[in-house]
Structure 1
Amino acid sequence: MHVWTPSQWRDHLRQVAVPRLDATALPILGAMATPFARVVAGESGPALDTPLPDDVTGEVALWWARTDRPVDVDALVTRAADGPILPRDAFRAIEVWTDAELSALHALWWLAETTGHPTWRRRVEDVRQWHQQHTQPDNATNRPWAVHVFALDPDPESQHYAATLLHNCMALNGVPDPLSAWILLDAARAMERAIGD
């Protein structure tokens, strides 16, 4: 398998994403639409300094943390010393859980990168490795969450995981759906930040 450089990944993700961007796709995210739109699509809104409701899921809380809303990220990411960020829920199908888990990893990568928090950085790497060993990228619901986390690692298995996430989001129509395009654009921005371009 050919291993792409981070610059090649960044350029390809952007090339695939930009023609498909459509802000009307964001509401499909439900509870995560507002924080995702704020950090990825650049939408603005009033500052929110109130705590999140108790019933907010972990991945949604991590996306809210990216908007500087008060979230106890440490409590979310250190719930387990190793393994996934989110607990497996008996009421979630593997596809739904994997989608949420990779979304949480996507957001955590950004939080670790922008703060330099060493525990969060280690956790991102541990979770990436865990997923390579325990989940398959096609367990996700065809959304390329955390594609950059896998693409930044030159290991062929990690590259394959990233390539499969990308392929799966385009398998139906040959192009990503509009929401996946926003995710890919955010991943391209992450690659850009990671390589310093």
Structure 2
Amino acid sequence: MPIRPDFSRRETWIGLLRQVAGPSDHSETGSDFDRDPPPIRPFGTDDPAVRAWSLLDSSDPDVAAAGLLELAGGRSEDPVGPRPFLPEREDLATEVWTECELSVLHAVWRVVLGTRATGAPASHLVSRLAGRVQEAVDWHLDRTQPDNATTHPWAIHAFLELGRPSAEAIDYAGSILHAVEAAGSARGAVDPLSRWIMLDAANELERGGDGVSSLVAASP
């Protein structure tokens, strides 16, 4: 009898993400891939996702964090609680806004994980940024349906590591991954942007494990 994968373990998701993305070469799991920006097609000149990913060019995480917090709006003294990272926009369709929001969230989580990987204490700005990611993940798990996120699995690793309850986060991630796989089957291949996202998420899950297999145990 086949053994059901343990979806609470990060290695399960690393394998799934790379499997759905398809075969990769060394450059897609190494430092060269880490520096490559995602092949985003902006919805317009004011797409915040373009600005968010451009901020990651800075070698100073505080510079990136300050820019991302400015993009998010709000103040440090605002009440803590579930909320999207970006202000909601009535001029955009739900799917367009959600795609943008989750793309930004993916970029933001990369800054937080990059700081953690150095082993240095997080600055006040990066700590604030991490808090905003947690608030956004909580908000999306309560409100966002997988079909609102199109077929691009933005920030799937952030949901897996931060989502509470963890069962809901696993269900969300599984639904997103299934949508990507179904769309890829219909087209004959996974689209380049989804492939980039999944490989990046797998790399970050692998890098952030620090010897801990359980996603629940590794999460703050």
Query: TM range, normalised to the smaller chain?
Result: 0.7 to 0.9
Task: Pick from 135, 139, 142 the counterpart of residue 144 of structure 2.
Answer: 135
2:11 equivalent to 1:11 = no
Q: Hey, what does 1:173 align to over in structure 2?
A: 184
Q: How far apart are the structure 1 equivalents of 2:47 and 2:184?
A: 31
Q: Specify the code of the residue in structure 2 equivalent to 1:19.
A: P
Counterpart AA for 1:136: Q
Q: CA deviation at 1:74?
A: 2.2
- Distance in 1 of aligned mates of 2:87 and 2:24: 33
Q: Which has the larger radius of gyration?
A: 2
1:158/1:142 CA distance change after superposition, 3 Å: same
The number of equivalent residue pairs is: 171
**Alignment-derived partner of residue 174 in structure 2:** 163
1:20, CA displacement in angstroms? 7.2
Q: Which amino acid aligns with 2:23?
A: P
Indicate which of 161, 173, 193 corresponds to 2:207.
193
| Counterparts of 1:167 and 1:178, CA distance in 2 | 16
Contact 1:63 1:107 in 2 (8 A): yes
Q: Which runs of 4+ in 1 moved over 6 A?
A: none
Contact 2:37 2:53 in 1 (8 A): no
Is 1:75 the counterpart of 2:70 in the alignment?
A: yes
Alignment of 1:17-32 (within 5 A): 17-19=21-23
Q: Alignment partner for residue 124 of structure 1, among 105, 115, 133?
A: 133
Tell which deviates more after alignment, 159-168 or 1-10: 1-10
CA RMSD of aligned residues (A): 2.8
- Corresponding residue for residue 47 of structure 2: 57
* Consecutive unaligned residues in structure 1, runs of 5 or more: 22-36, 43-54
Residues 123-132 or 55-64, more deviating? 55-64
State the TM-score, normalizing by the size of structure 1.
0.75
**Residue type of the partner of 2:159?**
F
Spell out the pairing of 1:84-99 with structure 2 (5 A cutoff).
84-99=84-99
Of residues 151-160 and 162-171 in structure 1, the stretch that sits farther from structure 2 once superposed is: 151-160
Task: Give TM-score scaled by structure 2 length.
Answer: 0.68
Contact 1:40–1:182 (Cα < 8 Å) also in 2: no
